[in-house]
């Protein structure tokens, strides 16, 4: 957000500098540096040669950016997928998911449905997460809300607790992006 605000200020300065040729080079360079920084962070932003036109990031771009940041913090993750309540992948960062993405996401929703019923039967309150561990991999499923969950693949010997701190750090950003109004999405 701060980067976007700096970009707006730099663009305003760039517009003012265009009126005054003596300072155009100074402001033009700062605008160009910010534009490059912004484009690295949000690949969907397209600037023309003069730097006057830009495109806002889409919800998908924002979600992928947040999931990439989460993946950088959870270094042991084999994949991280944001899944809707019907088992469809909304966004995903996958190093080792292969062709199984749809099957894994559908099974994550099936596990949540089963676990919710079980936890209700024993009076355990609201379901927060599930860790399904096998001899070849683990699937940590974190419930975000009634419509979305995160499915995180971990190695079989990983301690899922090590993933909780970064997950808790990034969940508010994922939810914020999901709730934000985007034009055209």
The string of pLDDT tens digits covering residues 68-92 is: 999 999 989 999 999 999 999 999 9
CB atoms within 10 A of CB 181: 6
> Can you identify the CATH homologous superfamily of domain 59-179?
Dynein light chain 2a, cytoplasmic (3.30.450.30)
Would you kindly state where each structural domain of the chain is located, as residue ranges?
Answer: 2-41, 59-179
Q: How many CA atoms lie within 13 A of 127 on its CB side?
A: 25
Q: Please, which residues bridge with residue 61 across strands? A: none
Express each pLDDT in 16-64 by its tens digit: 544 444 444 444 455 556 656 655 555 554 444 444 445 677 888 899 9
- On whether the pTM is more than 0.95, the answer is no
């Amino acid at each position: 957000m701060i980067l976007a605000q700096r970009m707006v200020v730099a663009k305003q300065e760039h517009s003012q500098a265009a009126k005054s040729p003596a300072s155009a080079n100074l402001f033009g360079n700062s605008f160009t540096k910010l534009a490059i920084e912004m484009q690295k962070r949000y690949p969907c932003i397209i600037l023309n040669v003069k730097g006057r036109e830009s495109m806002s990031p889409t919800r998908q771009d924002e979600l992928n950016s947040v999931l990439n940041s989460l993946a950088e913090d959870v270094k042991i993750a084999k994949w991280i997928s944001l899944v809707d309540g019907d088992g469809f992948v909304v966004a995903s960062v996958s190093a080792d998911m292969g062709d199984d993405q749809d099957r894994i996401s559908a099974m994550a929703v099936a596990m949540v449905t089963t676990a919710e019923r079980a936890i209700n039967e024993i009076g355990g309150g609201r379901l927060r997460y599930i860790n399904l561990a096998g001899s070849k991999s683990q699937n940590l499923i974190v419930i975000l809300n009634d419509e979305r969950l995160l499915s995180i693949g971990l190695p079989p010997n990983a301690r899922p607790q090590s993933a909780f701190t970064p997950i808790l750090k990034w969940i508010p950003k994922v939810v914020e992006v999901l709730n934000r109004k985007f034009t055209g999405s």
